[in-house]
Structure formats: structure tokens, C-alpha cells
Amino acid sequence: MDHLALPSFSKNGLLQGVIEIPAGTNTKYEYNRQLLQFQPDVRNGQVRRVDFMSYPVNYGFIPSTRMDKERGGDGDPLDILVLAEHLPTGTVIEVQPIGLMLLKDLGELDHKVLAIPADPSLRIIRATNWMEFQRDYSAIRHILETFFLYYDGLGTLLPIGWGDEQAAVEEVKKWQLAI
């Protein structure tokens, strides 16, 4: 199965996320489309591990999306951050977007959809939209900003703002590939 070619939205009309890096881990995994498998990312001949702290959320991508370099993106699928307990690498999960983290990575857009599992039994917070998230969990927003500011070296990734759940859906549609 090619995880990148899965639809962005499930048959139920829910956004789908593919987990590359489980919450609580430090090794950066990426999906290899040629081999159809998840592999540790390698930089300068070394497996890439975050030398800061473990990923505070499940990190992955939204299938059938690509942030085109011609339009300012980083050339990769649109990233997703799923607020849930540890989800194994390769998990495909239906999610509900609750926000959009706007970032630049060395001058290229590298936005991240913030989401919760569609299945309420998998949720670790009660917020189901941006307003509730801001009101009840603003500390998570600050933790995520700090993590991404430092995880690949100070000055590499720069937080530039946030959007609500509607902005997140619009961002998915903006980068969605024709299927």
C-alpha cells in the first residue's frame, strides 16, 4: 500500500493522517515511496534523532497532498500533528482538525495541521475546535511552538502564526493533489 496515495479524506468525509513519528520518540522517520515503507531519516550518514526532547505529539502527513515549491512550500506532503497517545509508525487515522500551525523552514512554508482523533475514545484533550483549544489548552500551543523552534536547531524553523480549524481544512484543500 502506498500511504502517500491514500485519499486526504476518508469515505466518511473525515481528514486522514498517516503517522511517521509516534509521540514520545526521538527518531525521525519518513515514508519512502519507492520502497513503500517507513525508514529512519538519514542526514550526513547518520540516523536523524531529535537532540532536544521527544516529539510531544504524533507527527506525520496528510496523504495526497504536496506543498509545491513553486507555490512557496517545502515540496513535501502537508504535515499533521495528532494529539493522541503514542500511535505506531504507519498508522492511518481519521482525524478532526482543530488548528493550523504556520511555520517557515529555511524560508519555505512548512505548515502543520493540528488534529485530534475522530474517535473520541482516542482523544487526550476535550477541545474539539480552535476556540476551545485556545481557551483550555493554550499551553500546548506554546509547547509546540517551542519544540519546533528548537528541534532542528534554533533559527531553522520559525513559527509565524496559527489558524483555526477552517484554515486547516482550507490548507489541506490548497495542497491536495488531483486524484
pLDDT tens per residue across span 143-176: 999 999 998 888 888 899 999 999 999 999 999 9
Per the structure, the complete domain to which residue 161 belongs is given by 3-175
Q: What is the reported pTM?
A: 0.96
CATH of the domain at 150: 3.90.80.10
Task: Give the closest residue to 23 by CA, choosing from 47, 53, 49, 56.
Answer: 56
The predicted-structure confidence for 96-110, as pLDDT tens digits, reads as follows 999 999 999 988 999
Structurally, the chain folds into a number of domains equal to 1
Q: What is the pLDDT of residue 153?
A: 84
> Left (φ > 0), alpha (ψ -120 to 50) or beta: where does 59 sit?
beta
